[in-house]
Amino acid sequence: MILARADVEKLPFSNEFFNGAICCGALHLFPDILNSLKEISRVLAQGSYFAAMTFTTRRFLKVPWIRKHLEEHHGAHIFELNELSVLLKNADFIEFDPIIYGSMLLFSTRKK
Protein backbone atom coordinates (compact mmCIF):
# COMPACT_ATOMS: atom_id res chain seq x y z
CA MET A 1 0.00 0.00 0.00
CA ILE A 2 1.29 3.44 -0.92
CA LEU A 3 0.28 6.43 1.18
CA ALA A 4 1.22 9.93 0.12
CA ARG A 5 0.16 13.40 1.10
CA ALA A 6 -0.21 15.27 -2.18
CA ASP A 7 -2.25 17.77 -4.15
CA VAL A 8 -4.93 15.80 -6.03
CA GLU A 9 -4.40 18.04 -9.06
CA LYS A 10 -0.64 17.23 -9.15
CA LEU A 11 -0.24 13.64 -7.98
CA PRO A 12 3.44 12.61 -7.67
CA PHE A 13 3.03 9.35 -9.60
CA SER A 14 3.69 8.30 -13.17
CA ASN A 15 0.94 7.61 -15.69
CA GLU A 16 -0.99 4.38 -15.10
CA PHE A 17 0.81 3.75 -11.80
CA PHE A 18 -2.14 2.35 -9.82
CA ASN A 19 -4.53 -0.56 -10.40
CA GLY A 20 -7.31 1.10 -8.40
CA ALA A 21 -8.16 4.15 -6.30
CA ILE A 22 -10.59 5.11 -3.54
CA CYS A 23 -11.69 8.63 -2.59
CA CYS A 24 -13.83 8.62 0.53
CA GLY A 25 -15.35 11.86 1.78
CA ALA A 26 -13.21 14.32 -0.20
CA LEU A 27 -14.40 14.63 -3.81
CA HIS A 28 -17.01 17.25 -2.87
CA LEU A 29 -14.25 19.40 -1.31
CA PHE A 30 -11.84 19.55 -4.28
CA PRO A 31 -11.63 23.10 -5.68
CA ASP A 32 -11.47 21.93 -9.32
CA ILE A 33 -13.36 18.66 -9.49
CA LEU A 34 -12.87 17.99 -13.21
CA ASN A 35 -9.10 18.51 -13.07
CA SER A 36 -8.94 16.36 -9.94
CA LEU A 37 -10.79 13.54 -11.68
CA LYS A 38 -8.53 13.86 -14.74
CA GLU A 39 -5.47 13.55 -12.52
CA ILE A 40 -6.88 10.49 -10.75
CA SER A 41 -7.58 9.00 -14.17
CA ARG A 42 -4.04 9.76 -15.32
CA VAL A 43 -2.46 7.69 -12.54
CA LEU A 44 -4.85 4.73 -13.01
CA ALA A 45 -4.03 1.88 -15.36
CA GLN A 46 -6.47 1.29 -18.20
CA GLY A 47 -9.50 -0.66 -16.99
CA SER A 48 -8.81 0.10 -13.30
CA TYR A 49 -11.63 0.91 -10.91
CA PHE A 50 -12.17 4.15 -9.02
CA ALA A 51 -14.59 4.12 -6.07
CA ALA A 52 -15.75 7.14 -4.10
CA MET A 53 -18.16 8.41 -1.46
CA THR A 54 -19.60 11.90 -1.73
CA PHE A 55 -22.98 13.64 -1.42
CA THR A 56 -25.96 14.14 -3.70
CA THR A 57 -29.10 16.27 -3.65
CA ARG A 58 -31.34 13.85 -1.79
CA ARG A 59 -33.04 13.86 1.62
CA PHE A 60 -31.98 16.89 3.69
CA LEU A 61 -29.60 18.08 0.96
CA LYS A 62 -32.65 18.85 -1.23
CA VAL A 63 -33.23 21.86 1.02
CA PRO A 64 -31.70 24.90 -0.75
CA TRP A 65 -30.56 26.76 2.39
CA ILE A 66 -28.74 23.68 3.71
CA ARG A 67 -26.91 23.19 0.38
CA LYS A 68 -26.08 26.90 0.28
CA HIS A 69 -24.67 26.77 3.83
CA LEU A 70 -22.49 23.75 3.01
CA GLU A 71 -21.21 25.37 -0.19
CA GLU A 72 -20.54 28.83 1.25
CA HIS A 73 -19.24 27.93 4.72
CA HIS A 74 -17.63 24.55 4.16
CA GLY A 75 -16.69 24.60 0.47
CA ALA A 76 -18.68 21.42 -0.16
CA HIS A 77 -20.11 20.72 -3.60
CA ILE A 78 -23.31 18.66 -3.63
CA PHE A 79 -23.56 16.61 -6.84
CA GLU A 80 -26.47 15.91 -9.14
CA LEU A 81 -26.10 12.41 -10.60
CA ASN A 82 -26.10 13.58 -14.22
CA GLU A 83 -23.49 16.25 -13.40
CA LEU A 84 -21.15 13.69 -11.85
CA SER A 85 -21.71 11.31 -14.77
CA VAL A 86 -20.62 14.01 -17.23
CA LEU A 87 -17.58 14.95 -15.12
CA LEU A 88 -16.47 11.31 -15.01
CA LYS A 89 -16.91 10.88 -18.78
CA ASN A 90 -14.85 14.02 -19.37
CA ALA A 91 -12.11 12.53 -17.18
CA ASP A 92 -12.01 9.31 -19.27
CA PHE A 93 -14.09 7.11 -16.95
CA ILE A 94 -16.80 4.67 -18.04
CA GLU A 95 -19.44 2.50 -16.35
CA PHE A 96 -20.59 4.97 -13.68
CA ASP A 97 -22.43 2.86 -11.09
CA PRO A 98 -24.03 5.02 -8.36
CA ILE A 99 -25.71 3.81 -5.17
CA ILE A 100 -27.60 6.33 -3.04
CA TYR A 101 -28.23 6.05 0.71
CA GLY A 102 -30.14 9.12 1.81
CA SER A 103 -27.94 12.03 0.77
CA MET A 104 -24.80 9.87 0.57
CA LEU A 105 -23.61 8.81 -2.87
CA LEU A 106 -21.34 5.80 -3.26
CA PHE A 107 -20.13 5.01 -6.75
CA SER A 108 -17.68 3.04 -8.78
CA THR A 109 -16.43 3.72 -12.27
CA ARG A 110 -13.67 2.40 -14.48
CA LYS A 111 -10.93 4.09 -16.47
CA LYS A 112 -11.51 3.70 -20.19
| Alpha-helix runs per DSSP H in the chain | 33-43, 64-74, 81-90
pLDDT for 58: 73
Is position 42 within any domain? yes
| Total Cβ atoms within 10 A of residue 60 | 9
Q: Which residues span the domain enclosing 79?
A: 20-111
φ and ψ at 14, to 5 degrees? -75, 165
pLDDT for 96: 97
Is position 6 within any domain? no
* Rounded CA separation 63/78 (Å): 11
Is position 53 within any domain? yes
Spell out the per-residue pLDDT of the chain, length 112, in tens.
Answer: 767 889 999 999 999 999 999 999 899 999 999 999 999 999 999 999 999 999 887 776 777 887 787 777 877 888 889 999 999 999 999 999 999 998 899 999 999 9
What is the pTM assigned to this prediction?
0.88
